[in-house]
Amino acid sequence: MDKQDEQAQTYFSRLITEHEGAPQVPNGMLMLGKSFRRTKMTSEAKQILEELVKRFPKATQVAEAQKLIAEL
């Protein structure tokens, strides 16, 4: 894992847990899923992307999350 993905995973994980109600959370979840995917952490990617779809079904990021889930 490169340093950039490691930092991204730390940042987006903190965003999701520390700012649960923030409007940036769906995007943070999508970005975290993408970072997990890039680093071959497929089960973590699938889990966070599925959580995004479940928690925020009307978010604009859902379509992309569903596409990524299908590719995993």
Helices 25-38 and 62-71 meet at what angle, rounded to 10? 20
User: pLDDT digit of tens for each residue in the chain (72 aa)?
Assistant: 789 989 999 999 999 999 988 999 999 999 999 999 999 999 999 999 999 999 999 999 999 999 999 999
Closest residue by Cα to residue 25 from 45, 5, 50, 55: 55
Separation CA 62–CA 30 (nearest Å): 8
CB half-sphere exposure, 34, CA atoms < 13 A: 14
Separation CA 36–CA 54 (nearest Å): 18
- pLDDT for the residue 2: 87
> Which domains does the chain carry?
3-71 (1.25.40.10)
pTM (2 d.p.): 0.93
Note whether 59 and 52 are within 8 A (CB).
yes
